[in-house]
Homo-oligomer: A and B are copies of this chain.
Amino acid sequence: MLEFAILGLLHEAPMHGYELRKRLHDTLGMFRTFSYGSVYPTLRRLQRAGLIAEEPGTATDHENRAWGRKARRVYKLTAEGKERFGELLGDAGPQTWDDEGFGVHLAFFSRTPADVRMRILEGRRRRVEERREGLRAALARAEERIDRYTRELHRLGLESSEREVRWLNELIAHEQAEQRGQHG
């Protein structure tokens, strides 16, 4: 997930870890935040895998003086990195419909192919509907055994599931309308 997000952000411009983490926090920050303890190791990993490359001369003392800052590793995308991002954009597997993954993928939705967008949206809807039905069943069956707090939690969950399903329906309808508009 972090890999996907980093690769996506680096499409705009080369960046260093701190900035990357900040941008991450801003754009998709309300749904998913990544810590420095995730960002820096991931950057190393991506570099080792050849998906990103450290811009030369950025970490030397000489350059630091010019910035007036501490050692600063700026990374840029490689050709392989771009290719990898393209692959990840095409993914519509189960991890794209759960809470963590869905928000991140949506952040790059305008760059993902229309059919993949559709499959992600529909997968997410199935997910949320399952959750909704599970909560409905729990609430119906509870009545006696479950304590007040759990019931309240289930009620909140049920309402938010219903709301998200409605939200997804609107998005899906919009996607369909757009496709109809393009093809005939």
Which residues of A approach B to under 8 Å, CB–CB?
26-31, 103, 106-107, 109-110, 131, 134-135, 138, 146-150, 152-154, 156-157, 159-160, 163-164, 167, 171
Contact = CB atoms under 8 A, between A and B. Distances in A.
Contacts of A27: 146, 150
8 contacts: A27-B150, A29-B134, A30-B154, A31-B153, A106-B149, A106-B152, A106-B153, A109-B149
Main secondary structure of the interface of A (DSSP, over half): helix
A110 B153 CA distance: 13
A27 B154 CA distance: 9
B154 A171 contact: no
Nearest to A105: B149
A103 B153 contact: yes
A129 to B, nearest CB: 12
Contacts of A147: 109-110
A26 B145 CA distance: 13
A64 B138 CA distance: 29
A29 B147 CA distance: 15
